[in-house]
Structure 1
Amino acid sequence: MLWKKRKKYRKALFLCIFLLLFLAGCTVNKDAEIHSNKNHQKETVKEAIPPSFLGQELKLPIQVEQGQFNSISGWLNNEEIVYITNVGLGSHVYTYNIFTGKNQLIFESESPVSTVTISPSGERLLVHTVPTTFEGIITIIDRNGKEIMSERMEAYDFVFEWNPYDEDQVLLSTFTESWDFSTYQMNFKEKKLIPIDLKEPFAGWKSKDELVFLDWGQEEELLFAPFKKKSILSEQDDTILDKIYYMKAIKNLIMTITVPSDKINESAYTFLSSDLNKLADFNIPHLTRFSDWLIPYFAFDEKDHFYTFAPLYSSEADTYAGGFQLLSLNIKNGDKKVIFEKMENEPLSCSTNGSHCLYGFYFEKLIDMDSKDIMPIMKE
């Protein structure tokens, strides 16, 4: 009988030990799972994942709520665009989130809106309305539509250039019907226009207080001009480069285009830092026009990429029928890629992260740079 009791005791003891080990294992696994989930949640919160990586669908095309579609102006950020509608004799300005479908009216005008120019940060917008042929109203608003400054000016046409180093300033050039021009610094903090003595109306910002421009002169018709810099605080200008055909300045970057004397069928693009150090360059075939060369449409993103359309060979622009490649250049390392073949040379504007680009003469199409899809933005 004693050995039977011992046998029962051993079984009971073994069962208790097994249950204890099993429960302990469950607790450890549960704690590990909770710890793992907490870490995963922390990582998810820490790094916001872009909608494109989540497979979020684009909410397109846009259905205009009021009025008739006029044009799209550009990007506020990686998800929101700005567009204009015609409403009666006036215009409305909207923002639209391409991933959520949120539509927001931010500006109404009884006069037609000619253009909306978005600041480099996307925090402010310049709205140019045209009450009469020889008059314009320049209104600065924030991204939600709150007015910052407004000026009514007599002019036949206007050119604007945001200061990317100080978005309280815009370079403003006004033109008469005979194309005489005047240039101003539009200062939002002081809420006034400050005249600037500038030889040319088309200029860019090299720094907070310094401009760059091509000095074409007043008398001769030339194909190349000196590339100059000038402080807005003085009258003196200095030559940086000779024989430049075109220039564009954005924040921390200057692009110049010229035609090399030894490669007269090509355009040479050079990219400089704001302190004028060379970063990258490349050549593409160019198309000639009656008195100059065609500059294909181009765009930048904020990931050091430059995008442009390139013809396949040099020719006269009027007879060229070879189509265009959409190229991408990494300005940091010089890598060049062909993104699309056989495209039309039409205006281009890319989001700051380069994932999507607006395309077309009214920016009415959207290019998904990952999937290579091109889709209409507005409902026909």
Structure 2
Amino acid sequence: MKKRYILYAFLLIVVLLAGCEQSSTKKDPQKQDQSTTHQTIQNVKIISVQNSSFYTFADWYDNRHVFYIENHNGISTIFLYDLYNGSKKEFFKTPQKVITLQANPSHTRFVLYTSKSEKEASLLFLDKKGNEIHSVTLHSFDIQYSWNPTKPSELIVTGFGEDWSFNTYLINIQKHTKQKIDIPQPFAQWLNGEEVVYLDWKKDQQSLQAPLRKMNMKTGKTTTLEKGVGTFSMFPETLLAVKAMEDSEKEKNGTYEFYSSKWHKMKQFSAPVLSNFSGWLLPYSQFDSRQEVFYTYVPYQKGDASEYKGGFDMVSFSLKDGKMKRLFKGVDNIPFKLSPDGTMALYGYQLEEIMDLTRKEKRILANFSS
């Protein structure tokens, strides 16, 4: 059970893991969401950072600005960086170590996952101006959270003990409330504004698939959506369920099935799936909800993940016409983060490169110096 939890924590919690003050003559990013229609990846300014203090690029503030994090002398500082004029501005500073930063679906609120010790984790919530508007501290070894897709100030948070016991809470930033809720499994995600979905694994039973269930947060009523799902991801208005193909000759191929939040099947495709000792190891993925395009990596063949060295293609799959396109050939399965408009992506273990998904180009975003 512990191995399964560790695997799915790795799959579902993307640990995506800064700079001088901006001159007063520069425009405030909060007032400067300039159009990037005519910008290309060649217009992006490369930033110079110090190896000793730079931690990671973290997320997109808007289509023009990205966040990056510096850790120095016990202080974590979050900066806003303008990709097209190279200016940077301090956004937030905290004595707690920032592990991740993530925007809500509307990019109006930002959550920082911070840690003081191995047994205590905190979430700090910021508005668009970098003001701390709420915080929650849990006595937990690790945490996982999921933003409500229709209520920008609400999310569910699961805190884990070192033995992978867990408690789940409903957090409302605007009302400053924390309500403990009874969900039978961790890693629940919002299906819509009122319901969550989760995989209902049976205790002490080895299996590669489990029933996918939904639960109404108000009534507690549960409903089975699918009897056998290997893993799933929830995007705004769209759910991806990955299942084993029934053909025994393709038992390590997976079917990627896309459903609306009202549970209408939209499109599907099949692809090789890598496995390890405790289940499927699925590649990183992102979804552009505006254009209804899914991005992921596809291995060239099925097999054992620990032995696979064949590389991946980065592909896009349109839910509008069901067509798949290859964007980059022979790349590694490493994290990437879509811009709000879906045209660009931060890429790399520190998100230190940038991709132009329209022109199929990529380049470095940061130069590192000692």
Shift of the 49–329 alpha-carbon distance from structure 1 to 2, 3 Å rule, reads farther
Select between 277-286 and 148-157 the one with higher mean Cα deviation. Answer: 148-157
CA distance in 2, matches of 1:87, 1:296: 32
Select between 55-64 and 131-140 the one with higher mean Cα deviation. Answer: 55-64
Residues 92 and 108, structure 1, Cα contact 8 Å, conserved in 2: yes
Q: Which residue of structure 1 aligns with residue 199 of structure 2?
A: 214
Q: What per-residue deviation string (whole Å, max 9, x for no partner) do you get for residues 180-204 of structure 1?
A: 1000001112201011100111011
Q: Which residue of structure 2 aligns with residue 60 of structure 1?
A: 45
How far off its partner does 1:66 sit?
11
CA distance in 1, matches of 2:34, 2:219: 47
Query: What is the TM-score when the length of structure 1 is the normalising length?
Result: 0.83
Q: Which residue of structure 2 aligns with residue 293 of structure 1?
A: 280
How far off its partner does 1:94 sit?
1.6
What secondary structure is seen at the aligned counterpart in 2 of 1:276? coil
CA distance in 2, matches of 1:129, 1:313: 38
Shift of the 57–285 alpha-carbon distance from structure 1 to 2, 3 Å rule, reads closer
What secondary structure is seen at the aligned counterpart in 2 of 1:164? coil
Q: What per-residue deviation string (whole Å, max 9, x for no partner) do you get for residues 257-294 of structure 1?
A: 01112131311100001101111100011222123222
Q: What per-residue deviation string (whole Å, max 9, x for no partner) do you get for residues 62-110 of structure 1?
A: 2349971101222222222111111211201122221232312111111
Q: Which residue of structure 1 aligns with residue 152 of structure 2?
A: 167
2:107 alignment partner, one of 78, 103, 122: 122
CA distance in 1, matches of 2:185, 2:91: 34
Q: Which residue of structure 2 aligns with residue 177 of structure 1?
A: 162
State whether structure 2 residue 309 is matched by structure 1 residue 324. no
How far off its partner does 1:151 sit?
2.1
How far off its partner does 1:209 sit?
1.6
State whether structure 2 residue 54 is matched by structure 1 residue 69. yes
CA distance in 1, matches of 2:47, 2:219: 48
State whether structure 2 residue 241 is matched by structure 1 residue 256. yes
How far off its partner does 1:154 sit?
1.5
CA distance in 1, matches of 2:89, 2:52: 14
Q: Which residue of structure 1 aligns with residue 127 of structure 2?
A: 142
1:238 alignment partner, one of 220, 223, 228: 223
Residues 267 and 319, structure 2, Cα contact 8 Å, conserved in 1: yes
The AA in structure 2 aligned to 1:223 is: L
State whether structure 2 residue 324 is matched by structure 1 residue 336. yes
The AA in structure 2 aligned to 1:69 is: F
Q: Which residue of structure 2 aligns with residue 275 of structure 1?
A: 262
Bigger Cα Rg: 1
Q: What per-residue deviation string (whole Å, max 9, x for no partner) do you get for residues 52-71 of structure 1?
A: 52558534322349971101
Select between 341-350 and 130-139 the one with higher mean Cα deviation. Answer: 130-139
Residues 109 and 153, structure 2, Cα contact 8 Å, conserved in 1: no
The AA in structure 2 aligned to 1:86 is: N
What secondary structure is seen at the aligned counterpart in 1 of 2:43? coil
Query: What is the TM-score when the length of structure 2 is the normalising length?
Result: 0.85
Shift of the 245–379 alpha-carbon distance from structure 1 to 2, 3 Å rule, reads same
CA distance in 1, matches of 2:282, 2:114: 28
Q: Which residue of structure 1 aligns with residue 292 of structure 2?
A: 304
Aligned 1:34-45 pairs, distance under 5 A: none
CA distance in 1, matches of 2:334, 2:211: 28
Shift of the 111–372 alpha-carbon distance from structure 1 to 2, 3 Å rule, reads same
Residues 66 and 87, structure 1, Cα contact 8 Å, conserved in 2: no
Unaligned runs of 5+ in 2: 1-32
Residues 45 and 85, structure 2, Cα contact 8 Å, conserved in 1: no
Select between 237-246 and 145-154 the one with higher mean Cα deviation. Answer: 145-154
The AA in structure 1 aligned to 2:364 is: P
The AA in structure 2 aligned to 1:295 is: L
CA distance in 2, matches of 1:149, 1:55: 37
Aligned length: 333
Unaligned runs of 5+ in 1: 1-47
Q: Which residue of structure 2 aligns with residue 32 of structure 1?
A: none
Q: What per-residue deviation string (whole Å, max 9, x for no partner) do you get for residues 218-244 of structure 1?
A: 332221111111011133311011110
CA distance in 1, matches of 2:138, 2:232: 28
What secondary structure is seen at the aligned counterpart in 2 of 1:379? strand
What secondary structure is seen at the aligned counterpart in 2 of 1:339? strand
Residues 60 and 376, structure 1, Cα contact 8 Å, conserved in 2: no
Q: What per-residue deviation string (whole Å, max 9, x for no partner) do you get for residues 152-180 of structure 1?
A: 22111111111111011011100111111
How far off its partner does 1:340 sit?
1.1
Percent identity over the alignment?
28
State whether structure 2 residue 358 is matched by structure 1 residue 373. no
Shift of the 289–219 alpha-carbon distance from structure 1 to 2, 3 Å rule, reads closer
The AA in structure 2 aligned to 1:297 is: Y
How far off its partner does 1:50 sit?
4.5
